[in-house]
Structure 1
Amino acid sequence: MKEWQKKDADALAKIHLAVSDSIFPRIMNSTSAKEAWDTFQDEFKGTVKIRAIKLQTLRRDFENLRMTEGETIKDFSSRAIEVVNQMKSYGGNITNQRVIEKFLISLTEKFDSVVNIIEETRNLSELSVTELVGSLQAHEQRISRRTEVSIEGAFQSKHKNKFQPKGGKSQRRQGNSKEGENKGKFPPCGICQKSSHQEKDCWQKGKPRCKNCKKFGHTDQTCRLKQQQQAGVSETQEAENQIFYACHSATAKKDDVWLIDSGCTNHMAKNPTFFTQIDTTIKVPIQMGDGGLVQSEGKGTVAIQTKKGTRFINDVLYVPDLSQNLLSVPQMITNNYSLLFEGSTCAIFDAQKKEIARVNMQNKTFPIKWNYTTESLLVSQDGVDSS
């Protein structure tokens, strides 16, 4: 009996020494090591009911585990193993085979080939998690090396085509001719669908495939085509409400000529007689192409004559210091007008897809000369077109 009491006191002393000062008060009144341990268990693990609830939550987390795009095998395996260890600490019974199966069905598409090989050639009940993670990491490294080689080869090809066009073209012809000679000799490759080689020899094997453009060697997150599709046509407005003006110094400067400008965020005119209506209280700083700033002296409406009748251009800034009147492409697009650049001409269509103007290119710009109307302000307010 005394021996047992001595061991219990020794165990309780070790527990006291192991805990931090903030935890010690919770067990300072415990008279035995078991009492102190039960206190910890109830507080940190909870009662039987609480442990069952936590275990159920962890099981749900385990079932919802999925490897995300861009996540490495190391990071995913750490997440999964942490959940498994927590389940076991709360009394959960999960077999090694169940963990292996969960791993294999939770990986991203680029691991499909190695998953098929493992499922067909290995006994999952005898495979350990460590072995599986090692095999997947080796496959991941091969994919990474092939992707890097593919990117490096693309840059080399680009430079060769630039500085040695003849040699580059001949090399490409040789590669294409070999592929052409083998075309039809094999059944369609299960990876790239070409019939010039067997699947085991496919150069695209193991490479990631973009879901956007369907090409190999990159993911949809880094797809250049997707980035180009998402690129906007208008410039971002400056934080100080500055409006950017793209300068066309090579163009003939005429007071009654307007330039169609994609780099200008707002319509701007230099002549106050163009306006049928103007609010001189609106003053906006304009950033010029050389970085300088000028001030607008108002904003209003310009009435013009087109072959389809009178049109009203709203929200035109009056800027006396301009060298050229400007029609903003982004502003027209925002107001449901559309522009079609084809060859050396630019056609402008209204919201009903009716052509209202066609402009020929001159000196790499699209100048347009309007005939101004003397309609009264009352008429312009009755049927204003936003452009």
Structure 2
Amino acid sequence: MSFTPPPPPVFTRENYHIWIVKMKTYLQAHDLWSVIENDAEPPPLRANPTIAHMRQHAEERAKKHKAMACLQNGVSDVIFTRIMACDSPKQAWEKLKEEFMGTDKTRQQQVMNLRRDFENLRMRESETIKQYSDRIMAIVNSIRLLGVDFTESRVVEKVITTLSEKFESKISSLEDSRDLSAISLSELINSLYALKQRRANRQEENPEAAFQAKASEGSSVSAKGKKPWHNRRAKKCKEFGHVEKVCKGKPKEAAQQQARPAEDLQA
């Protein structure tokens, strides 16, 4: 099958980390990435070469020029002036990398800062798991673009260990049916959403189960030092099951005080 790649991506000074990934793939598609990595001339022809050997040798020597043409056409005119004096595609590639990605020391510092941001991430109560995973992947992709390997299992572990408390029961249910050490991030998110949907459907079919679920949530709040609503006593009527704001009863002492003036008048 013939494959004609599109024109090379053009770097205009912004989003260099994205451009370098696209350009590397473009060069690999044309079988030109090896000359960027090695920057070595092909071995000389042996004595009495065949026409096929001469053709192959010429093609190998031409790869450097093809790779340089790709790089020169893959940058804007302003960026081209930075590499037009380079003698080899490897030299041009490294010059762009040093200027727009920084030195090895600078990249190491950037990776350290991003890793710290990653470790400090925690799920907000107002977030969905999809929103939280998007925040995590934004940092992970920035680390990967700096050339650092970041495994999927590490991302999944981060999500599981930093989810808000409302996901604890779902994670426990998921552990019973799946190997969380081998699950992908997309599978984790889809599984948690599926569990949430199944529980919502069961609660619609069985209102009593929904009431018990709310009661258990109240118990978890109680563990933090607050009483669940069904164990709290209103100050006015001294009855359980509601709080002061919704209490319609009057204090007995207040009722007795209202009755006393009438008795005094009769006396």
**What is the TM-score of this pair, normalised by structure 1?**
0.37
Any unmatched runs of 5+ in structure 2?
A: 1-41, 43-57, 230-244, 246-253, 256-267
Task: Give 1:94's aligned residue.
Answer: 150
Q: Report the alpha carbon displacement of residue 141 of structure 1 after superposing the two structures with TM.
A: 5.1
* Equivalent position to 2:97, from 33, 41, 61: 41
Q: Counterpart of 1:138?
A: 194
- Offset from partner CA, 1:283-320 (integer Å, 9 cap, x none): xxxxxxxxxxxxxxxxxxxxxxxxxxxxxxxxxxxxxx
Matches within 5 A, 1:205-354: 205=213
Equivalenced residue count is 172
Residue 26 (structure 1) aligned with residue 82 (structure 2): yes
> Over the residues paired in the alignment, what is the CA RMSD in angstroms?
3.8
User: How far is the alpha carbon of 1:56 from its aligned partner?
Assistant: 0.9
2:115 paired with 1:59 = yes
Bigger-Rg structure (1/2): 1
Q: Give aligned-pair identity as a percent.
A: 40
Letter in 1 for 2:177: T
| Higher strand residue share | 1
Equivalent position amino acid for 1:53 in 2: Q
Corresponding position of 2:141 = 85
Say whether 1:125 aligns with 2:181: yes
The one of 83, 90, 103 equivalent to 2:159 is 103
Q: Pairwise mapping of residues 166-177 of structure 1 onto structure 2 (< 5 A)?
A: none
Change (3 A) 1:45 1:4: same
* 1:22 positional shift: 4.2
Alignment partner for residue 170 of structure 2, among 114, 126, 140? 114
The structure, 1 or 2, with the larger RCO (C-alpha pairs under 8 Å, 6+ apart) is: 2
Q: 1:44-63: CA deviations, max 9, x gaps?
A: 32211111111111111111
**Aligned pair in 2 of structure 1 residues 14, 108: CA closer, same or farther (>3 Å)?**
same
Distance 1:208 1:18 in 2: 60
Contact 1:12 1:33 in 2 (8 A): yes
Query: Is 1:3 paired with 2:59?
Result: yes
Contact kept? 1:15, 1:33, Cα under 8 Å: yes
Residues 172-194 of structure 1 show CA distances to partners (whole Å, capped at 9, x for unaligned) of: xxx9xxx7xxxxxxxxxxxxxxx
Contact 1:110 1:206 in 2 (8 A): no
Closer, same or farther in 2 for the Cα pair 1:103/1:58, shift >3 Å? same
Q: Which amino acid aligns with 2:85?
A: N
Q: Which runs of 5+ in 1 are unaligned?
A: 150-174, 180-200, 216-227, 229-341, 344-387
